[in-house]
């Protein structure tokens, strides 16, 4: 069977998913995909980090107060994990929950656990210390601070942000993130993992 060069696979993928990248990837970046070396898919040194909002993006709070994964969220996180793509959270919580991100994240985990009813545990370990929360009420999204802090710790990787609200999508786009609005009818529930992987190959 004839093998298609990796650069053509990546370029075709981006073209096939052009509707997804219309709000994220420029024509210049798409042209850069055409110049990938043949072995880039196996030996690339690019990187991408995917950040999410939490409520109504990855988890849903029902009318009875119970909390579960949003449809497709657990599967999406598992697919990213399988490709070793780092993930993080950029989420609004009360700044009074702690003096540090770690303290506020610990409180967030406790609050979610109290009403968690999904048969699968939430994948907190996937996020490590990449759980960014407001230090003051002025830092709450859609203020730029949390996205800027995430970018400052990204090591120059391309950044993706997935959320369910257009104001956050617009804010992240203005700060150089590749945004994806989840939950739209007739669209994939989340940004396809193949596209996220391809983004790692494109020049910043």
CATH code for the domain in which residue 147 is found: 3.40.50.1000
**Residues with Cβ within 8 Å of residue 119, at least 6 apart in sequence:** none
Lowest mean pLDDT among 21-25, 40-44, 60-64: 40-44
- Total domain count, the chain: 1
Q: Is residue 131 part of a domain?
A: yes
11 in Cβ contact with 33 (< 8 Å): yes
Q: Is residue 125 part of a domain?
A: yes
Q: Is residue 2 part of a domain?
A: no
Q: Is residue 102 part of a domain?
A: yes
Q: Is residue 39 part of a domain?
A: no
Helices (H) and strands (E) in the chain, counts: 9, 7
pLDDT of residue 37: 30
User: For 95-133, what is each residue's pLDDT tens digit?
Assistant: 999 999 999 999 999 999 999 999 999 999 999 999 999
User: Which residue range forms the structural domain that includes residue 186?
Assistant: 47-199
Q: Is residue 204 part of a domain?
A: no
The pTM is what? 0.80
Place of tokens 């956050």: 168
């Amino acid at each position: 069977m004839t093998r298609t060069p990796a650069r053509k696979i990546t370029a075709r993928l981006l073209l096939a998913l052009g509707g997804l990248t219309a709000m994220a990837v420029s024509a210049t970046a798409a042209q850069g995909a055409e110049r990938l070396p043949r072995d880039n898919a196996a030996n690339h040194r690019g990187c991408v980090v995917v950040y999410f909002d939490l409520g109504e993006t990855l988890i849903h709070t029902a009318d009875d107060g119970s909390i579960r994964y949003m449809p497709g969220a657990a599967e999406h996180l598992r697919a990213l994990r399988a490709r070793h793509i780092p993930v993080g959270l950029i989420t609004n919580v009360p700044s009074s929950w702690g003096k540090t991100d770690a303290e506020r994240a610990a409180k967030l985990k406790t609050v979610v656990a109290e009403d968690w009813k999904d048969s699968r545990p939430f994948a907190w370990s996937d996020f490590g210390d990449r759980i960014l929360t407001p230090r003051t009420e002025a830092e709450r999204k859609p203020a730029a601070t949390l996205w800027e802090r995430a970018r400052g710790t990204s090591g120059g990787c391309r950044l993706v942000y997935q959320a369910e609200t257009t104001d956050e999508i617009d804010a992240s786009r203005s700060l150089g993130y590749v945004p994806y609005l989840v939950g739209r009818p007739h669209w994939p529930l989340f940004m396809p993992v193949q596209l996220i992987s391809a983004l790692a190959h494109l020049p910043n």
